[in-house]
Amino acid sequence: MGATSRAFALFFALAASIPASFFLPTEASPKVGSTVATAELETRAFPNAPDGYTPQNTTCPSTRPTVRSASALSDNETSWLEMRRNNTIAPMQDLLGRLNISGFDAEAYITKNAKNASALPNIAIAVSGGGYRACLNGGGAVQAFDSREINSTAAGHLGGLLQSATYLAGLSGGGWLVGSIFVNNFTTVTALLDNDASSVWEFGNSIFEGPATGSIQVLDSAEYYTGIEHEVSAKGDAGFNTSVTDYWGRALSFQLVNASDGGASYTWSSIQLQESFANADSPMPILVSDGRAPGETLIPGNTTIYEFNPFEFGTWDPTTYGFVPLEFLGSNFSGGVLADSEKCVRGFDNVGYVMGTSSSLFNQFILDVNETSLSQLAKSFVSDILSRFSESDNDIAQYQPNPFYGYHKDTSRVYQEPALSLVDGGEDLENIPLHPLIQPFRHLDVIFAVDSSADTNNYWPNGTSLVATYQRSLNGTSADGGNLANGTSFPAIPDQNTFVNLGLNTRPTFFGCNSSNTSSPTPLVVYIPNSPYTYQSNISTFDPSYNTSQRDLIVENGYNVATMGNGTANSTWPVCVGCAILQRSLERTQTALPQACIQCFADFCWDGTVNSTNPANYEPTYKINNPAKKSAAIREVASCSFAAVVAMAVLAMVW
């Protein structure tokens, strides 16, 4: 049995373009931009699947669903954007006012342009993949950007950036973060970590052991395995092809969804029904996955990239170039239409299945079931599951029937395939979900790219994802020889050696500061790489469990990465974030760049310098004082003898 097969064995053992000026805001919504912190987990998304995890045939609406061309935004997204762009005005004014750009009245500038969305900044946040490391480090960044979090609006902090953003995209582990926030009704990261009953993010028991007693989901291991097996089998019995991702997604849900049964009835499309999203009081969540063509084992850089948003599933790539209503994924579309004789399937877009689709690569972290301390019962369960899947199919999600069957015959590689095979969204090396955010129809000005990739030998990022996105924008060619870039544009990015040699992977860096260097509109990319500020957060992508202290320390470090230690590592960083938000907008309105911003761009923009020599082994040191080390040492001695208590007092004085 190959390593990949053994990895999955253990898993189963254990478990038309619309211009920006179209979106004209009216009055600012008072619902957005609250600075009241909350640790309570609100009511979850809607459990609107008709029969738990099993998709069901239902009556179609009077206007039957169809596959639409990717030649424009959907009508749903267009209408939602009219509200969302309006609702970002108040939090943007508040954020930019607090960032206090010297010599520039940012609040007055936003007020002056409040009726013209084509002038206002348009912001997105992208959170990379990387397992729990990405989920937690990205969680710290989102916590820093969220004005609802305690102290996030204090001096040096960045609370309100989340409320000012139009889109929030995630991939793999970053997708777990985005999914967990939105499925739990656009909650806060603090609420996921700790609430009155028990936290949702209980990672002390690995996903392969199942929920611990006392957590939200109170099950023993036997109930956990049996329940997942029953649900996946029921989906298969209903006539739907199942895959490794069905098991993986159901297991993920027990750690990410605040529901006693792991959210078996919760769908990704139900996010659009939540009050916070329906009122456009939150950004739009997007998850990313890669297509895998028949016969492929390695995913090339020119693969088709698919996105899940609350309204649709599909791709902007000219290969397939279409979107299907997400709510009716699983229906038997052919040639882009649903025949009158076909029913409308609902419930296929289970939240765990969607999050699992974006993170299927994670299953490969276990090497051999026989080298573990699993019970014989669990190992027997492994053997039973293994008999159902071939090694070549154990890292995919099967979307059957293929919603794009018979669609775009001239360009699509999957139009004759009965099933659409999808894999981890980072397998094409684009581990930051930038692809949906650089689509010209979305008119993004600035993207805050939080990178927790494990590019180096010791699990730190080195810019590989940005390099891959840049290369795709330059010379991406689809299977039929067409231009895969399809009108997208991306700032120039240096090679990975330059990232390390120049320290671009140790601190935030701006790419695309001079928009005149590109032939078409390009968003400014604010690259925020994982780095040790207060904790060595370079944990392996394949670590399966984290105690509460380690979990919280990684989140805390992520907060410090995003804020540069609340300005401790660089006191100008908060102001420079404000400059990054405004830069493209100032260009469009022909407003002079404030002197403070000129200095920011001199300090944070990549200036085009390249150093491609092989770097030394990258082992970063702490950016600021190490309170995590202090706290850990104090906790350690506190659990010992009376002499240790004395030592604790000494340590406290030394630090």
Q: Is the pLDDT of residue 10 over 50?
A: no
Same domain for 630 and 615? no
Same domain for 186 and 248? yes
Compute the distance between CA of residue 557 and CA of residue 340 in angstroms, rounded to an integer: 55
User: Closest Cα to residue 137, out of 562, 467, 631, 567?
Assistant: 562
- Per-residue pLDDT at 194: 84
Q: Is the pLDDT of residue 28 over 50?
A: no
pLDDT, tens only, 311-337 = 999 999 999 999 999 999 999 999 999
- Per-residue pLDDT at 117: 86
How open is the CA angle 23-25-30, to the nearest 5 degrees? 140
Compute the distance between CA of residue 87 and CA of residue 81 in angstroms, rounded to an integer: 9
- Per-residue pLDDT at 290: 94
Query: Between 54 and 481, whose confidence is greater?
Result: 54
pLDDT confidence band for 206 (50 / 70 / 90) = confident
- Per-residue pLDDT at 299: 76
What CATH number does residue 342 fall under? 3.40.1090.10
- Per-residue pLDDT at 21: 30
User: Closest Cα to residue 256, out of 560, 453, 45, 530?
Assistant: 45
| Structural domain containing residue 577 | 3-624
Q: Is the pLDDT of residue 550 over 70?
A: yes
Query: Between 519 and 479, whose confidence is greater?
Result: 519
- Per-residue pLDDT at 497: 98
pLDDT confidence band for 614 (50 / 70 / 90) = very high
Same domain for 142 and 235? yes
Give me the number of domains the chain comprises: 2
pTM of the model: 0.87
- Per-residue pLDDT at 345: 98
- Per-residue pLDDT at 365: 41
Same domain for 589 and 605? yes
Percent of the chain with pLDDT strictly greater than 90: 66
- Per-residue pLDDT at 370: 44
Q: Is the pLDDT of residue 94 over 90?
A: yes
Same domain for 638 and 652? yes
Query: Between 399 and 645, whose confidence is greater?
Result: 399
Same domain for 446 and 514? yes
pLDDT, tens only, 556-596 = 999 999 999 999 999 999 999 999 999 999 999 999 999 99
Same domain for 455 and 540? yes
Q: Is the pLDDT of residue 378 over 80?
A: no
Q: What is the mean pLDDT of the chain?
A: 84
User: Closest Cα to residue 134, out of 407, 386, 449, 600?
Assistant: 449
b/e map 520-553, b = 16+ CB within 10 Å: ebbbbbbbbbbbbbbbbbbbebbebebeeebbbb
Same domain for 636 and 526? no
The torsion angles phi and psi of 623, rounded to 5 degrees, stand at -80, -35
Compute the distance between CA of residue 490 and CA of residue 466 in angstroms, rounded to an integer: 9
pLDDT confidence band for 248 (50 / 70 / 90) = confident
Same domain for 299 and 312? yes
Compute the distance between CA of residue 288 and CA of residue 317 in angstroms, rounded to an integer: 13
Highest-scoring range by mean pLDDT, 3-17, 276-290, 516-530: 276-290
Query: Between 139 and 653, whose confidence is greater?
Result: 139
Q: What is the mean pLDDT of residues 377-396?
A: 59
Same domain for 204 and 175? yes
pLDDT confidence band for 413 (50 / 70 / 90) = confident
The torsion angles phi and psi of 528, rounded to 5 degrees, stand at -120, 90
pLDDT, tens only, 274-311 = 999 999 999 999 999 999 876 666 677 789 999 999 99
Q: What is the mean pLDDT of residues 67-93?
A: 97
- Per-residue pLDDT at 375: 53
Same domain for 446 and 575? yes
Same domain for 242 and 298? yes
